[in-house]
Amino acid sequence: MNGLLRRIAIPALLLTCVAIEWSRGGDSLPNWLANLSVKTGAGSDKVLRILIALELCGAMFAFLSSGLSHRVAWLTGIAFAFSGLAELSAIINAPGDAAVPASMWIAPLVGLAIGAGTLALLMRPHPTPAPRGRISALKIIGALAVAAFAFGLAGRLELAPRTNSRFSSSGAEMVVLNPSEWVGMTMAEAGIARHVPSLTPLTMEGTKWVVFYSPTCGRCHEVFRTYFAGPQDGNVIAVLVPHGPGVKVLPSDQPADVECTGCERVSLPDTKQWIITPPTIVKVENGRVTCVTSTDYDRCRTPADVKP
């Protein structure tokens, strides 16, 4: 891999990783690295920001310095290959007998291929490099400025939290929702808008109540009759929590759906199995969650809020 190619391809690869991680948030973190963040107590958000900062540093160093681009290319190839192997090992050694969906194999295989390809190109014979220049104070200051910029930018990025998911014995993806952690966040920041995009525009203005419910849940019907009776004028968003693929639903004497006149009705995707306690009420004021409860409903929906 010649110097010009390194100074273009490696920064482009690293910046692509940054763009993906920024758009997907915590879900872009490899499982092995997410598990490591939990074991060390650092948390997935902090680890992801450090990863983004290192990638930004590598991209800028490789682009600005021909000498550093060679080292960055080696580190990039090793990191991609190692991460791909670690992720594949985690998939192969995962507990249970359920078949892993094909989509789970794509990212680690692509990462392994990129890492192996980069290392193969670097090991090809190449002309003897020119003697390296001395390390000057100006270069040190420049490197520190690049690092400060990268870590500062990574610390300011808005990143969606990682979705707590795993696979059930039937092979369906199980997603654990923790609404109690959403207080102070927008629907996008909480990560739920990735699954139900319409929740963001529906909750941006005024006071809204987002209610997660199941049609076969007797308590859900009772809560809607008690706290959301009468016309709601779009102030209540009823979010259906489907049972998920392969889940056997026992016959129920409950109505087919909850009574909520004037509610906005949306649903979580039925291709996944959702873990959440229904009914859960989430109060959103001007776009941000201010109250969450699945037990004391008077705390988030007072009698004064209930229309006659």
Q: Kindly report, residue by residue over 232-245, the tens digit of the pLDDT.
A: 777 899 999 988 77
What does residue 263 show for φ and ψ, rounded to 5 degrees? -75, 150
Residue with tokens 């998939």: 91
User: Amino acid identity, residue 197?
Assistant: P
pLDDT single digits (tens) 35-75: 777 667 677 788 889 999 999 999 999 898 887 888 899 99
154-160: average pLDDT: 81
Residue 3: alpha-carbon gap to chain centroid: 35
pLDDT single digits (tens) 175-203: 878 888 888 889 988 888 888 999 999 99
Q: How many residues does the chain have?
A: 308
> Can you read off the two tokens belonging to residue 3?
């110097």
From CA 69, how far away is CA 74, in angstroms rounded?
9
| 3-state class (DSSP) for residue 306 | coil
Helix (H) or strand (E) holding 211: strand 207-213
252-260: average pLDDT: 77
What is the pLDDT confidence band of residue 101, given thresholds at 50, 70 and 90? low
| 3-state class (DSSP) for residue 115 | helix
Q: Does the pLDDT of residue 108 top 70, yes or no?
A: yes
From CA 13, how far away is CA 21, in angstroms rounded?
13
Contacts of 104-111 with C-beta under 8 Å, sequence gap 24+, read 107/30, 108/30, 108/83, 108/84, 109/84, 110/84, 111/80, 111/81, 111/83, 111/84, 111/87
Domain covering 166-305, topology: Glutaredoxin (3.40.30)
User: The pTM is what?
Assistant: 0.57
* Count of alpha carbons within 13 angstroms of residue 260, beta-carbon side: 28
Q: Does the pLDDT of residue 162 top 60, yes or no?
A: yes
| Residue 76, CA distances (Å) to 52, 119, 261 in order | 13, 9, 56
Domain layout of the chain by residue ranges: 3-156, 166-305
The secondary structure of residue 265, as a DSSP letter, is E
Q: Does the pLDDT of residue 266 top 90, yes or no?
A: yes
